[in-house]
Amino acid sequence: MLGQLLRLWILSKLIVQYAYTTTSCYFFVSKTPVLTDIDNQILWHPYSSTKAPGPLWQVVGADGVYIELADGRKLIDGMSSWWCMIHGYNHPVLNEAAKNQIDQFSHVMFGGLTHEPAVRLAEKLVEITPEGLNKVFFSDSGSVSVEVAMKMALQYWQAVGNTRKTKFVSLRRGYHGDTWGAMSVCDPDRGMHHLFKGMLADQLFVDSPPCKFEASCSDSDIADLQQLLNDRGSEIAALILEPIAQNAGGMHFYSPDYLRRARQLCDQHDVLLIADEIATGFGRTGKLFGCEWAEISPDIICLGKSLTGGYLTLAATLCTDKVSDGICGADPGVFMHGPTYMANPLACAVANASLELLLNQDWQSSINAIETGLVKGLSAASEMVAVKEVRVLGAIGVIELHKPIDQAELQPKFVEQGVWVRPFGSVVYLMPPYIINSEELSRLCQATLTVVADL
């Protein structure tokens, strides 16, 4: 009898698995999709535990601002898939660009070879980024573009004979990526990489700008940076910062005046300025690049995330002629970096289409409309007990709470409301695709308020 029951149980499992893999119908065992069971057994998701994996939802499609789940629900994406899907999902222009390029060639090495997608993309980036950034180095991801920028700064000072300049200055609350060098310039105490403190290169930090976005920057607001550059400028290679918006550091918006004065201090003390525009670039803050709020140009700029409209991983590090000429004017005469997938033609072709799509439309009006909708839609949160502050800048809406949240507990509540919102720390934030319409944005905001009201 026991053997017969065992055979029946095995047969039922095989039937479920067969039906799942051949008909796209989703059978549930203990109310969990089979694919999610497999995922929990073998996959390790970002910032997650393999012993206690958080809740998962299987995606079977995505279109416009909607993510379609295996159970048929469609969620409004309030995250732009970690801020990169600015044109939404399944965009016909970007789809066509990818299809056209893959029929020609998907990849060639960039050592000794070149191709039109890379040249055209570099040409466009030089044209639209702040003045003076005339050399373009492509890489695989935003974090790697920061590694490239840091290596550029160090190799530049070595090349021009100033071997003492080996330190970087960064802002507290800053985040610049998960790779080793990038982690060393992330917030050393409150950031997500504080566990590696003592193992990373020892960098220098100043307080996050206390002056808010709409305020001017007083002498006291920038005093610690000024003092540090006065005392140790001779050993500092570069200041690296996220212009205007420190995103992963709590969605903190600071004064353009601080950025302007930081540029002046770097010039006075012969320190390079690296602008990490991976999250702030391509219109998110209301300007094409965050540096434009202060009308300054960095010596090096890092770009990524929405560069390809979220379709493929690609990043770029641009620098001035001063930096590139310095590096290439001394032994070994070349920049010592070269990713295998550098300037991947498929990614470059989609990036070209994404930039054309962005720049050939009135993107500024779209961002302004989203900003207006976020201000209107989230304002009621300021009266809620759990809420410390509500702030909006461009296409970024933030509800800061008094206490940190339990993401695993809160995430399903957003899904129940029909939206994809992934809070972190004490921050619930929205960064929707630029194509979101007023009705969708209103629903997204209302769903967010409903969840936050229960905290």
CB atoms within 10 A of CB 425: 17
Strand partners, 68: 61, 74
Cβ-Cβ contacts under 8 Å for 13 (sequence gap 6 or more): 29
Q: Active-site positions?
A: 47, 175, 276, 305
Containing H/E element for 74? strand 74-77
Phi then psi for residue 147, to 5 deg, are: -55, -45
Q: What is the number of other CB atoms lying within 10 angstroms of the CB of residue 373?
A: 24
* Cα Rg, the chain, nearest whole Å: 24
**The Cα angle at residue 389 between residues 211 and 288, in degrees rounded to 5:** 60
Measured in residues, the chain has a length of: 455
Does residue 332 have a cis bond before it (omega within 30 degrees)? yes
Q: Any residues with CB less than 8 A from the CB of 230 and at least 6 apart, and which? A: 269
First to last CA, the chain: 52
Q: Determine phi and psi for 315, rounding to 5 degrees.
A: -145, 165
Q: Which residues pair with 274 in a beta bridge?
A: 240, 300
Q: Is the distance from CB of 409 to CB of 423 less than 8 angstroms?
A: no
Q: Which residues lie closer than 8 Å to 208 by C-beta, 6 or more apart?
A: 171, 172, 173, 174, 246, 249, 252, 254
Q: For 354, phi and psi rounded to 5 degrees?
A: -65, -45
Return the H-helix or E-strand segment holding 451. helix 438-453
Tell which residue, 127, 130, 135, has the closest CA to residue 292: 130
Q: What are phi and psi of 95, to 5 degrees?
A: -60, -45
